[in-house]
Amino acid sequence: MPIIIWTIQLILIPALSPLGIGLIKNMKAKLQNRQGASIFQPYRDIWKLLHKDEVVSVDASWIFRCAPYIVFGITIVVGASIPLFSSLGQGIISSDMLLVIYTLATGTFFLALAGIDTGSAFGGFGSSREMTISALAEGGFIFSLLTLALTRGTTNLFGISAIPMSLYDQSFLPTLLAFLGFFIVLLAETARFPFDNPATHLELTMIHEAMILEYSGKKLALMEWASANKLLIFTALGANLFFPFALAQSSMMGVVLIGIFAFIFKILVFYAAIAVLESSISKFRFFRLPDLLLISFIFNIIAIGLLNYL
């Protein structure tokens, strides 16, 4: 991959992810007949937190202090290892399907460790719930991407995105089922409705927010920024792996710009779908969530079964 494309990839995720959160909040406000905050408000919130002092519990260990940097760093590395606007990167080792999945799982692991490190009751049950959901979502995540790997003949994410898909392709129906399963996993892994309410103020319903309840200042800013990065990473995976059109196939500046604009358009469609969904349903009870994740797993198993049949 040319160095200029890799540099853009490295910058694009952290630069655009807060804007995505602002867009979702603004669209939800409009759908609920409210004015809503500016789409740039998340940038202001992060900037404000970066200039605030921190309060760290005396019971916190190095895990609590280092987890924000590890979690944020993982999202940056994964963001540079997945196709965003170009499919030129099939030689990158870090873009292997399983490597990306388990790198993201490592970030979730350190996030959960940070939640229980201070001994807070809220952090403990938030971490417990997060690991339960992650464990149940892992199968659906792997099998949704495995469906694409079987149809494209490669586990490299750039290689998968380089092969276009047609409505008349035999693999269209399995890919569609795999996408439905992936979208459920996206909502679970990024703490969106119906799995979690990112704007909740009720301690007993918190999952992600409970794990970062003890953070403040710069570390809280990194955690919030990493959460926005993760949402953009999952939407980018869904947009470019299941709908691989308009991706740059060369390093020419005009082609790259077209790829960037197409990427932004696809991401906006995903964010609009999330905003509509979150304005239409409420958060599910925790014990109903495994059923929804099981549906995701079943979608992917059926998709793989159809591939074998076809």
* pLDDT tens track for 23-35: 999 999 999 899 8
Looking at the structure of the chain, the number of domains it has is 1
Q: What is the pLDDT of residue 21?
A: 95
Assign 18 a pLDDT band (cuts: 50, 70, 90).
very high
pLDDT of residue 284: 87
pLDDT of residue 231: 96
- Segment 129-155 shows an average pLDDT of 92
Give the pTM: 0.95
Say yes or no to pLDDT of 309 above 90: no
Q: Which residue has the higher pLDDT, 298 or 36?
A: 298
Which pLDDT belongs to residue 200? 74
Peptide bond preceding 194 in cis form (omega within 30 of 0): yes
| Average model confidence (pLDDT) across the chain | 90
Average pLDDT, integer, range 4-28? 91
In this prediction, residue 166 carries a pLDDT of 65
Angstrom distance (rounded) from CA 138 to CA 121: 26
Q: What is the pLDDT of residue 145?
A: 95
| Segments forming the whole domain that contains residue 36 | 3-309
